[in-house]
């Protein structure tokens, strides 16, 4: 960046007086209009800091406070927005959805799932010389091999577990008797691709020596070149009697700088909402008695009114959930404009499908509402709704967002399985279960963003205790996660 001699001299003078200048503050000073007296601006900032011994760094927000409002607005809309907000939609199912007849469609879906997951599995260094199910059935006694297939059945037998896997060549039954292998096999979701090292006994029985999922490789996350933040939300449930509107309004005020946190707030560039924007209508029997607004279009109008208060410098990405008016089967298209029109007209809102891969300042996010977490938590031992990130970790290991077929999560009979997790995301963001939770796994930040709805009658009956109005914030340069709470004005932060 070219720095005029006059500005360089002024900055040298500031440094000589014992002050530091934050890089973002420097960028702002460099881009001020020529009619602004930079020396006078710096003197005002320093005057306000002279009595604060512990605060000797001049930040962007310090300069913005003493500038005329119109100058800050012009600078924000030009240099700041152009330099540090980069949104790229990598893959969105909205325009790719094309379901086929159920029987032939599901056959193609699972054939494509197998092909994609096998391609991922073969990238592993330990996947060489994998054989097919038909080849395994020709193994001789005491021979060992590695095979892979979709897990069609898991049966417990007197402390052992029998697995049945399928591939295009046939079926293979494999017994897990070693305690360690039995524990691993119990954590494999049905219909996921499983990789098995096996041996054949003299009696012809196959025994598993190890069981694993395709998994993600260990790696270092890719961070943004400069410090900016993305806020992750889900499950607002606007229109519900339990929607915490005052908390959400306080959140919007926080984004506008009303409650301090200036350095962080000024660097927020993205707001990602992973589904269930509204509570919907007719989602479950008797829902009408739990609604404050029974008209679906008016629910979205209220949502747009609330979201419109978010500063325009922040780009908003909105995907659907099971309460939004889209088909229940995955993948889901974007919320239709017939209902969500008030959101579509907001300049800083981008409506996308579920799931969706996006890049925010070069950081890859996988955004998925999370309906299949019900199936994962309900079928795998030791998982609970208190720690949804652990269930999300299993989806990452399986490299599939909804592996289990025939449970609570409906799948669409598509030609291509759009729920395979490829590429590996830097951040995996989900919601649905109304509990905020975070986990780091092999370089990927796993984040469930909680809710803005208090406990419902259904949740109370199920013993589920949500964590409302607490939201995660991702530092795009480091992928560190902090949190804030809007349940009261004593904001909580922490990792």
* The pLDDT of residue 78: 44
The residue-averaged pLDDT of 468-478 equals: 96
Of residues 355 and 83, more confidently modeled: 355
206 lies in the same domain as 304: no
What is the pLDDT confidence band of residue 1, given thresholds at 50, 70 and 90? very low
Query: Per mean pLDDT, which range of 112-126, 414-428, 477-491 is the poorest?
Result: 477-491
What is the pLDDT confidence band of residue 5, given thresholds at 50, 70 and 90? very low
Query: Per mean pLDDT, which range of 15-29, 191-205, 314-328 is the poorest?
Result: 15-29
Please indicate, yes or no, if residue 492 is contained in any of the structural domains. Answer: no
* The pLDDT of residue 82: 43
Total-model pTM: 0.82
What is the pLDDT confidence band of residue 435, given thresholds at 50, 70 and 90? very high
282 lies in the same domain as 325: yes
Q: Is 491 left (phi over 0), alpha (psi -120 to 50) or beta?
A: beta
% of the chain surpassing 70 pLDDT = 92
344 lies in the same domain as 445: yes
Please indicate, yes or no, if residue 374 is contained in any of the structural domains. Answer: yes
Instruction: Reply yes or no on whether the pLDDT at 268 is more than 90.
Output: yes
Digit-coded pLDDT (tens) for 197-248? 999 998 889 999 999 999 999 988 777 777 899 999 999 999 999 999 999 9
Query: Per mean pLDDT, which range of 24-33, 129-138, 329-338 is the poorest?
Result: 24-33
138 lies in the same domain as 239: no
70 lies in the same domain as 153: no
Distances (CA, A) of 414 to 101, 107, 189, 418: 9, 9, 21, 8
Quick one: angle between helices 296-307 and 337-344, nearest 10?
A: 20
Compute the mean pLDDT over every residue in the chain, rounded to the nearest whole number.
89
Instruction: Reply yes or no on whether the pLDDT at 269 is more than 50.
Output: yes
Select from 190, 212, 234 the last residue of a domain.
212
207 lies in the same domain as 235: no
Query: Per mean pLDDT, which range of 20-34, 397-411, 447-461 is the poorest?
Result: 20-34
Quick one: angle between helices 38-49 and 5-16, nearest 10?
A: 10
Please indicate, yes or no, if residue 103 is contained in any of the structural domains. Answer: no
The residue-averaged pLDDT of 31-60 equals: 77
Q: Which two tokens stand for residue 280?
A: 């919907």
* The pLDDT of residue 10: 80
% of the chain surpassing 90 pLDDT = 70
Is the Cβ–Cβ distance between 211 and 186 less than 8 Å? no
Digit-coded pLDDT (tens) for 130-165? 999 999 989 999 899 999 999 999 999 888 999 999
What is the pLDDT confidence band of residue 73, given thresholds at 50, 70 and 90? low
Q: Nearest-CA neighbor of 131 among 293, 121, 141, 191?
A: 121
60 lies in the same domain as 91: no
List the strands of the sheet with 436-441, edge to edge.
87-91, 356-360, 363-368, 427-430, 444-449, 436-441
Give the separation between CA 369 and CA 157, rounded to whole angstroms. Answer: 36
The number of distinct structural domains making up the chain is 3
State which of 46-60, 68-82, 116-130, 472-486 shows the largest mean pLDDT.
Answer: 472-486
Select from 166, 181, 212 the last residue of a domain.
212
Q: Name, in order, each residue with C-beta under 8 angstroms of 34's C-beta and a sequence gap of 6 or more.
A: none
Is the Cβ–Cβ distance between 221 and 362 less than 8 Å? no
Domain that holds residue 277: 87-95+222-485
* The pLDDT of residue 462: 75
* The pLDDT of residue 226: 76
Tokens 């012009």 label which residue? 74
Q: Counting beta carbons within 10 angstroms of the beta carbon of residue 286, is it exposed (0 to 12), middle (13 to 18) or buried (19 or more)?
A: exposed
Q: Name, in order, each residue with C-beta under 8 angstroms of 377's C-beta and a sequence gap of 6 or more.
A: 383, 384, 385, 388, 391, 433
**Angle, CA 345 vertex, CA 340 and CA 347 arms, to 5°:** 130
3-state SS of the chain is: CCCCHHHHHHHHHHHHCCCEECHHHHHHHHCCCCCCCHHHHHHHHHHHHCCCCCCCEECHHHHHHHCCHHHHHHHHHHHHHHHHCCEEEEECHHHCCCCCCHHHHHHHHHHHHHHHHHHHHCCCCCCCCEECHHHHCCCCCCCEEEEEEEEEEEEEECCEEEEEEEECCEEEEEEECCHHHHHHHHCCCCCCEEEEEEEECCCCCEEEEEEECCCCCCCCCCCCCCCCEEEEECCCCECECCECHHHHHHHHHHHCCCCCCHHHHHCEEEEEEECCCECCCCCCCCHHHHECCCCHHHHHHHHHHHHCCCCCCCEEEEECCCCCCCCCCECECCCCHHHHHHHHCCCCEEECCECEEEEECCEEEEEECCCCHHHHHHHCCCCCCCCHHHHHHHHHHHCECCCCCCCCCCECCCCCCCCECCCCCCEEEECCCCCEEEEEECCEEEEEECECECCCHHHHHHCCCCCECEEEEEECCCCCEEEEECCCCCCCCCC
The residue-averaged pLDDT of 486-492 equals: 65
Please indicate, yes or no, if residue 118 is contained in any of the structural domains. Answer: no
* The pLDDT of residue 157: 84
142 lies in the same domain as 153: yes
**Please, what's the b/e burial string for 346-378 (b: 16 or more CB within 10 A of its CB; e: otherwise)?**
bebbbbbbbbbbbbbbebbbbbbbbbbbbbbbe
The domain that holds 336 is classified in CATH as 3.60.21.50
155 lies in the same domain as 296: no
Q: Which two tokens stand for residue 223?
A: 């961070």
* The pLDDT of residue 84: 56
The domain that holds 206 is classified in CATH as 2.40.50.140
Instruction: Reply yes or no on whether the pLDDT at 421 is more than 90.
Output: yes
Select from 18, 53, 84 the last residue of a domain.
84
Strand partners, 177: none
Give the separation between CA 156 and CA 140, rounded to whole angstroms. Answer: 26
Please indicate, yes or no, if residue 494 is contained in any of the structural domains. Answer: no
Give the separation between CA 430 and CA 481, rounded to whole angstroms. Answer: 15
Instruction: Reply yes or no on whether the pLDDT at 79 is more than 60.
Output: no
Please indicate, yes or no, if residue 174 is contained in any of the structural domains. Answer: yes
Please indicate, yes or no, if residue 304 is contained in any of the structural domains. Answer: yes
183 lies in the same domain as 231: no
Digit-coded pLDDT (tens) for 441-450? 999 999 999 9
Q: Which two tokens stand for residue 34?
A: 């020529």
Please indicate, yes or no, if residue 106 is contained in any of the structural domains. Answer: no
306 lies in the same domain as 201: no
18 lies in the same domain as 33: yes
Is the Cβ–Cβ distance between 121 and 213 less than 8 Å? no
* The pLDDT of residue 489: 52
């Amino acid at each position: 960046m070219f720095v005029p001699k006059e500005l360089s001299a002024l900055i040298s003078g500031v440094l000589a007086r014992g002050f530091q200048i934050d890089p973002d503050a420097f960028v702002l000073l460099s881009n001020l209009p020529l009619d602004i007296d930079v020396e006078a601006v710096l003197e005002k900032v320093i005057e306000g800091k002279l009595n604060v011994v512990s605060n000797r760094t001049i930040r962007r927000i310090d300069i913005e406070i003493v500038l005329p409002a119109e100058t800050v607005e012009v600078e924000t809309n030009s240099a700041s927005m152009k330099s540090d907000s980069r949104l790229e939609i990598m893959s969105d199912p909205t325009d790719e959805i094309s379901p086929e007849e159920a029987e032939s469609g599901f056959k193609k879906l699972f054939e494509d799932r197998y092909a994609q997951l096998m391609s991922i599995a073969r990238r592993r260094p330990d996947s060489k010389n994998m054989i097919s199910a038909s080849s395994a059935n020709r193994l001789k006694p005491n021979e060992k091999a590695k095979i892979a297939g979709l897990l069609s059945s898991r049966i417990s037998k007197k402390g052992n577990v029998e697995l049945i896997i399928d591939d295009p060549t046939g079926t293979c039954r494999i017994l897990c008797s070693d305690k360690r292998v039995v524990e691993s096999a119990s954590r494999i979701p049905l219909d996921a691709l499983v990789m098995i090292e096996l041996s054949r006994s003299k009696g012809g029985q196959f025994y598993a020596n190890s069981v694993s999922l395709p998994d993600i490789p260990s790696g270092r996350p890719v961070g943004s070149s400069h410090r900016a933040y993305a806020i992750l939300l889900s499950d607002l449930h606007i229109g519900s009697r339990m929607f915490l509107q005052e908390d959400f309004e306080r959140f919007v005020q926080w984004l506008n700088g009303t409650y301090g946190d200036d350095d962080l707030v000024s660097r927020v560039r993205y707001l990602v909402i992973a589904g269930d924007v509204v509570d919907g209508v007719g989602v479950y029997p008797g829902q009408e008695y739990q609604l404050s607004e029974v008209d679906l279009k008016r629910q979205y109008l209220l949502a747009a009114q609330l979201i419109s208060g978010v500063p325009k410098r922040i780009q908003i990405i909105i995907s659907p959930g099971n309460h939004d008016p889209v088909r229940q089967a995955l993948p889901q298209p974007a919320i239709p404009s017939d209902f969500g029109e008030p959101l579509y007209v907001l300049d800083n809102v981008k409506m996308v499908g579920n799931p969706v891969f996006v890049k925010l300042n070069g950081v890859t996010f996988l955004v998925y509402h999370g309906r299949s977490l019900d199936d994962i938590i309900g079928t795998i031992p030791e998982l609970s709704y208190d720690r949804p990130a652990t269930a999300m970790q299993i989806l990452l290991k399986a490299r599939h967002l909804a592996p289990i077929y025939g449970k609570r999560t409906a799948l669409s009979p598509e030609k291509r399985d759009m729920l395979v997790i490829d590429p590996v995301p830097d951040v995996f963001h989900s919601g649905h279960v109304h509990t905020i939770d975070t986990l780091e796994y092999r370089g990927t930040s796993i984040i469930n963003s909680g809710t803005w709805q208090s406990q419902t009658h259904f949740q109370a009956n199920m013993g589920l205790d949500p964590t409302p109005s607490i939201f995660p914030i991702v530092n795009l340069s480091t992928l560190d996660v902090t949190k804030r709470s809007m349940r009261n004005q004593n904001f909580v932060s922490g990792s």
